[in-house]
Copies of this chain bind each other. A is one copy, B any other.
Amino acid sequence: MSASRTKPQNRRRAAVSIRDVARRARVSIATVSRAVNRVSTVDPELAKRVWKAVEETGYVPNTQARALVSGRSRILGLIVSEITNPFFPELVQEFENLAVAQGYEVMIGSTNYDPARTESLVRRMLQRNVDGVAVMTFGIEEELVQKLVEREFPLVFVDAGPDLPNIRVLKVNYAEGIREAVQHLAALGHRSIAFIAGPLNMRSAVARRDAFLKSMAELGIEVPAEHVVEGNHTMEGGLEAMERLADLAELPTAVLCSNDMTAIGVLHALDRTTHSVPKEISVVGFDDIHLAQFMLPPLTTVRMSCRDLAAAAVEALRAGIEPDRAAAGQKEWSIPTRLVVRQSSTFPRGTLPAVVKQVMGKGRGVRLD
């Protein structure tokens, strides 16, 4: 039942090889290969015999051998910052679904913001000969991916990357969603809006903060320096940042956060100090992770769809890998963002117009799904 010329050292049952199928179908291994790969020139009669034999033997082509001879592994690398931030699993999931549907496997790795770890990760990806790598760290680890760049692997970055032939970039339109959020708050009457940024050594954190400042400036609302504090995109960071904000002479009436985890930390901090959200202070997040709608109260947030992101990443990667693909020449993909209003934002404290009080039953704001 298995290739006879070898001695299967390992105690695992030897896999059926292309030779076993060829023998059984009474054709050459070349024909089996062609039939299995659906080459159109194969005689239908023989093809049928081959498929029958495949069926009977349970033959599964060996990917390693395929990769070895073709030089392409059909593996896409996906590098994220940390898999424990809920945004990333959602992204990973989408990415994987799309990749698998298109015949690719995914090799995932998280950097945990650790250069040594990243180094080892890149090395492993090189070693496994991935066909391309999507670097979705929202970070600044470009120099760490130097090796991939050198080897001219097709690469996809978020927000920005070196301008090289094999590199494609996903441009997230932070401005539009954040402007929407600021305008939403301003329209409700907020003038004292604080911003909790992400770690400012991250390009995307800076972009989000700048989008906030720009949107505020557009409306002619001044932002005191102490209203922009640096967090680190974790719950802990949000909690701490909010505590700093709460120490100010006057508590802002609204807080916009650079991501949802930060916002969750903020909600926690406010609960600890018995400030009610949104009555006393409005909180708005960014990302729209699944969890956001389950917060207490459900979180108003700017959605950056990880489906959009994943789809663009896979598409951009394939553009780099398969030279005669339609999008092969495209170097940039644009990712939209938009506000999702839930219950963590409302009028500034003490300003709820009497009319509104009457009109509002329980739920105001646009509910999601």
A-side residues, CB < 8 A to B, are 8-13, 15, 58, 60-65, 67-68, 71-73, 82-84, 86, 88-90, 92-93, 96, 100, 105, 107-110, 120, 123-124, 126-129, 147, 150-154, 166, 235, 264-265, 267-268, 271, 290-291, 294, 296, 323
In the bound complex, do residue B152 and residue A124 qualify as a contact, i.e. CB atoms below 8 Å apart?
Answer: no
Output the least CB separation between A97 and chain B (Å).
9
In the bound complex, do residue B110 and residue A93 qualify as a contact, i.e. CB atoms below 8 Å apart?
Answer: yes
Chain B residue numbers with a CB within 8 Å of A124 are 100, 105
In the bound complex, do residue A65 and residue B68 qualify as a contact, i.e. CB atoms below 8 Å apart?
Answer: yes
Residue on B with the closest CB to A239?
A: B294
Given contacts A8-B71, A93-B84, A152-B13, whether A268 and B290 have CB atoms under 8 Å apart is: no
In the bound complex, do residue A105 and residue B107 qualify as a contact, i.e. CB atoms below 8 Å apart?
Answer: yes
**Cα–Cα distance between A108 and B99 once the two chains are bound (Å):** 13
Chain B residue numbers with a CB within 8 Å of A264 are 294
**Cα–Cα distance between A26 and B90 once the two chains are bound (Å):** 50
Output the least CB separation between A146 and chain B (Å).
11
Chain B residue numbers with a CB within 8 Å of A109 are 96
Output the least CB separation between A365 and chain B (Å).
16
**Cα–Cα distance between A9 and B72 once the two chains are bound (Å):** 11
In the bound complex, do residue B127 and residue A71 qualify as a contact, i.e. CB atoms below 8 Å apart?
Answer: no
**Cα–Cα distance between A61 and B109 once the two chains are bound (Å):** 20
Output the least CB separation between A309 and chain B (Å).
15
**Cα–Cα distance between A312 and B347 once the two chains are bound (Å):** 52
Chain B residue numbers with a CB within 8 Å of A88 are 89
In the bound complex, do residue B13 and residue A151 qualify as a contact, i.e. CB atoms below 8 Å apart?
Answer: yes
Chain B residue numbers with a CB within 8 Å of A89 are 83-84, 86, 88-89
Output the least CB separation between A156 and chain B (Å).
15
Of the A-B pairs whose beta carbons lie under 8 Å apart in the complex, a sample of 13, sorted by A's number, is A11-B323, A15-B151, A60-B126, A62-B129, A63-B128, A64-B129, A83-B93, A86-B86, A96-B109, A96-B110, A105-B124, A108-B108, A265-B294
Output the least CB separation between A118 and chain B (Å).
12
Chain B residue numbers with a CB within 8 Å of A11 are 152, 323
**Cα–Cα distance between A38 and B146 once the two chains are bound (Å):** 27
Output the least CB separation between A82 and chain B (Å).
8
**Cα–Cα distance between A71 and B267 once the two chains are bound (Å):** 53
Chain B residue numbers with a CB within 8 Å of A150 are 13
Chain B residue numbers with a CB within 8 Å of A147 are 58
**Cα–Cα distance between A12 and B130 once the two chains are bound (Å):** 11
Residue on B with the closest CB to A85?
A: B89
In the bound complex, do residue B105 and residue A128 qualify as a contact, i.e. CB atoms below 8 Å apart?
Answer: yes
Output the least CB separation between A8 and chain B (Å).
7
**Cα–Cα distance between A93 and B92 once the two chains are bound (Å):** 13
Residue on B with the closest CB to A147?
A: B58
**Cα–Cα distance between A129 and B154 once the two chains are bound (Å):** 25
